[in-house]
Structure 1
Amino acid sequence: MSTTMQAVVLHGREDLRLETVAVPQPGPGELLLRVGAALTCGTDLKVYRRGYHAKMLVPPTLFGHEIAGTVIAMGADVAGFKQGDRVVALNSAPCGACLFCRRDQPNLCSDLLFNNGAYAEYIRIPARIVAKNTLHVPEGVPFQHAALTEPLACVVHGLEQCKPRTGDTVVVIGAGPIGLMFLRTAQIAGCRVIAVVKRDDQIASAKRFGADEVVQIAEGVDTVAAVRALTEDGEGADIVVECVATPATWEQSVEMVRKGGVVNLFGGPPSGTSVSFDTNRLHYGDITLKATFHHTPAACRRAFELITSGRMHAEDFITATSALSDVPDVFRRMLVRSATGTLDIKTAILPEAAQ
């Protein structure tokens, strides 16, 4: 095995470069994976656009975090894994000791350990992630499907926080990758699902991924009224999940939910963004506002089961494949597609395709 590898390095704002770097060596408790597949992600696109992520990375740095691959080397004291194992390694793991971990909120861990470097031939998995958030991938499950575990875990955690019941009406605002995952996950949970979308092409996508009804945002259309008209007695949805991250949709989500309902403000606007809510409606309507961040080890395992059981139909989310050498161009195209409203769902980066 060579001592060097090809990897994508983030150097700053819209500056990704394919470089030759040293193959990382696993320390105690760590694994070295040969990357089988890494998926593009909306968070990675935001980091690419901004040039940094305050919690996860500082450039220059290896890039990418949705990954699955094969164990090719191990450090001392690794338990439960061996060379040749097919695994999915999540992008983080909590400490298990801080206030938030003790309160069963490990997604808010004060020492949440992140890992990046998925767009590479090899990646080192830190010991804490090996011990707490690395899972065996069954034979027959493609790496690109297993790599969907991380974003799906965020969605699973978000929906579970809303406590849906069979038959509940769930509104999902947005039909990007996360919105489509919410649609399908809510459908699997036995909910009636209404999608709120912007573009013509998203109508068919929303229906394909689980929407029973679709409301399209358009000039002259009262989106809130259109959604409420599709709910029981026009009272509003039991649950509204906002996945667009704009002040307008945050505010609309509160108007779409019924009294006693739950709004999950899942999409995160930039720091400093302000919104306005009708306090009378919130108070006398007994409305619960939630904002769910990240995932937990338990949610990761439930997401993984949805994928490996076939219920999630992970193949629907992989809309393109590319070689490792194409990653800088892939992200440049993602910026353009995002601006024109033609963003693909997920591109699977397959390092071996570049060899």
Structure 2
Amino acid sequence: MLPTTMRAAVLRGKEDLRVEDVPVPRAGAGELVLRVDAALTCGTDLKVFRRGYHAKMLTANRLFGHEVAGTVVEVGEGATRFAVGDRVLPLNSAPCDACFFCRNGQQNLCDDLLFNNGAYAEFISIPARIVEKNTHRIPDTMPFEHAALTEPLACVVRGLEQTEARAGQTMIVLGAGPIGLLFIHAAAIEGLHVIAIVKRRDQVETATRFGAAHVVRLADVDDPVQAARSFTPEARGADIVIEAVATPEAWEMALHLARKGGAVNLFGGPPAGTTAAFDTNLIHYSDLNIKASFHHTPATAQRAFEMLASGRFDCEAFLTGTASLEDVPEVFHNMLTRPPEGTAPEIKTVIHPAHAPRPIASEHSLVGETA
């Protein structure tokens, strides 16, 4: 029998996140209710916390958080894929599969893309469409917090697919925050030669740990573009460049890092209203293939989940801290401020609403930016 109320983090406005008593959700037709066994902090959630809203995902006065894994505690009528007691990973969205974009293989741009939030809570309701199209059963040997990495990795997998990344290619990744590190690690284990460009001194070690063959720190060189290109064959530039910093300056730099005929993925989303200036001759005469990636699809989520479950991905290295549900507002306030040089900020903090947080092994306490 489920309780009638639960503790949950509610976004009330800009930098106003509160843990409150709210009603426990009940499963409607086709829906599931999960006990939340692990939820992860995310750079997107930090942006939402800072701004008080997200243009597509949620507005104020809503339950908060979207990277989640848990155990089924209630099954709605007609939901036949899962049963009470199943360990599951629900993604945070599902497409309609009927609109123009879905029919043209662009489900991430679905006109009726259904988002779900509420990971930082004791229980979470999973809408029927997500249950049917974008929820996975977690193997008994896979920790919940490892499965919860699926959502951000699914976005990265889509970015890799869009740039047609393949083993043997050279890739430059701009940025060593959580997304940049996911790109570095995923590309490295897929057999790409990865070069990272980072800002902080401690990120040099982190990027190397996650698979970067070479790391350029901005403050250590006069010309970071030339320095990074020097690690590519004949200094011609990278086959693929991933921008994961989310600033116009990084967007502009990214184009200068690619070889002629190369691909550039402007993955990081700068704030609304910002603009970037590009050398039109460089784009035209270098025949550059410029992409921008948004979100994920059920197919890239499936691929990401399989990568995590395979054991090839060092999931534990991304999980650098734990916190209780009551600590969530403090965790996000702390994420607003970058720690001093030489200290180790969190890459991903694991929230364990259903039980006390477990310690994370110190050897996995790596350094990364929060956005």
TM-score, with normalisation over the residues of structure 2? 0.94
Counterpart Cα distance in 1 of 2:219 and 2:143: 39
* 2:151 match: secondary structure: helix
Structure 1, residues 257-282: CA drift from partner, whole Å, max 9, x if none?
A: 00000000000001111111111111
Kept after mapping to 2: 8 A contact 1:153/1:296: yes
- Whether 2:107 is the aligned partner of 1:70: answer no
* 2:158 match: secondary structure: helix
Counterpart Cα distance in 2 of 1:193 and 1:32: 41
Counterpart Cα distance in 2 of 1:344 and 1:227: 27
* 2:338 match: secondary structure: helix
Moved more, 1-10 or 120-129: 1-10
Q: Which runs of 4+ in 1 moved over 4 A?
A: 338-342
In the comparison of the two structures, how many residue pairs are matched? 355
Kept after mapping to 1: 8 A contact 2:38/2:352: yes
Kept after mapping to 2: 8 A contact 1:149/1:300: yes
Shift of 1:230: 1.0
Counterpart Cα distance in 1 of 2:328 and 2:132: 30
State the one-letter code of the partner of 2:294: F
State the one-letter code of the partner of 1:95: C
* 2:17 match: secondary structure: strand
Structure 1, residues 232-264: CA drift from partner, whole Å, max 9, x if none?
A: 111100000000011111111100100000000
Counterpart Cα distance in 2 of 1:281 and 1:79: 54
Mark the runs of 5 or more structure 2 residues left unpaired by the alignment. 358-371
Shift of 1:353: 3.0
Query: Residue in 2 aligned with 1:273?
Result: 274
Query: Residue in 1 aligned with 2:346?
Result: 344
Shift of 1:165: 2.4
Shift of 1:337: 2.9
Moved more, 160-169 or 283-292: 160-169
TM-score, with normalisation over the residues of structure 1? 0.98
* 1:69 match: secondary structure: strand
Alpha-carbon distance change, 266 to 284 in structure 1, aligned in 2, over 3 angstroms: same
Structure 1, residues 106-128: CA drift from partner, whole Å, max 9, x if none?
A: 01101000000000000000000
The share of aligned pairs that are identical, in percent, is 61
Mark the runs of 5 or more structure 1 residues left unpaired by the alignment. none
Query: Residue in 2 aligned with 1:134?
Result: 135
Query: Residue in 2 aligned with 1:86?
Result: 87
State the one-letter code of the partner of 1:236: G
Q: How does 1:1-355 map to 2 (within 5 A)?
A: 1-218=2-219, 221-337=222-338, 343-353=345-355
What root-mean-square deviation, in Å, do the aligned CA atoms of Structure 1 and Structure 2 show?
1.3
Kept after mapping to 2: 8 A contact 1:322/1:353: no
Query: Residue in 1 aligned with 2:369?
Result: none
Counterpart Cα distance in 2 of 1:220 and 1:165: 29
Alpha-carbon distance change, 220 to 163 in structure 1, aligned in 2, over 3 angstroms: closer
Alpha-carbon distance change, 108 to 39 in structure 1, aligned in 2, over 3 angstroms: same
